[in-house]
């Protein structure tokens, strides 16, 4: 499942992506994009940033979420709306990457958390 439509920018340790919420999205319920989708979107934004680094293949690596801290959700996007997600790498230790993720809807912060992500080296 792909939760990123396009890479908006990468600046230093920050990656920004966009996702248009579609009706057939597995994380939509009653026309609303729910919690698991917001979290997965942040994780895939982090992976997209890794894949786009110079020397990498350009494809986002496979990985999994190892932990979520301080999750705060203040709103849910509806089908047809576009979210912008910003992920900043805080720490990298071995295969673990700690990131701060933020999801915006119409320039308003609607979700944020710290994720521990483990990327699988191919």
pLDDT at site 63: 79
Does the global pTM surpass 0.95? no
Does 32 map to a domain?
Answer: yes
Question: What range does the domain containing 81 cover?
Answer: 6-119
The answer, yes or no, to whether residue 26 has pLDDT greater than 90, is yes
Q: How many residues does the chain have?
A: 122
Count structural domains, the chain.
1
Mean pLDDT within 17-21 = 98
At residue 93, does pLDDT exceed 70?
Answer: yes
pLDDT at 57 > cutoff 60 = no
The arithmetic mean of pLDDT across residues 1-28, rounded, is 95
CATH number of the domain bearing residue 95 = 3.10.129.10
- For 61-94, letters b (16+ CB in 10 Å) and e give bebeeeeeeeeeeeebbeeeeebbbbbbbeeeee
- Position 1 in a domain: no
- 30 within some domain: yes
Residue 56 forms part of a structural domain: yes
Average pLDDT, the chain: 90
pLDDT category at 53 given cuts 50, 70, 90 is low
């Amino acid at each position: 499942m792909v939760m990123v439509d396009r890479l908006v920018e990468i600046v230093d340790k920050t990656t920004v992506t966009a996702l248009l919420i579609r009706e057939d999205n597995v994380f939509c319920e009653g026309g609303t994009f729910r919690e698991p989708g917001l979290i997965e979107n942040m994780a895939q934004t982090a992976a997209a940033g890794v894949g786009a680094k110079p020397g990498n293949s350009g494809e986002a690596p496979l990985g999994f979420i190892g932990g979520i801290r301080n999750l705060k959700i203040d709103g849910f996007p509806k089908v047809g709306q576009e979210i912008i997600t910003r992920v900043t790498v805080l720490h990298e230790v071995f295969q673990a990457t700690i990131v701060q993720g933020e999801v915006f809807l119409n320039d308003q912060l609607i979700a944020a958390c710290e994720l521990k992500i483990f990327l699988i080296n191919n």
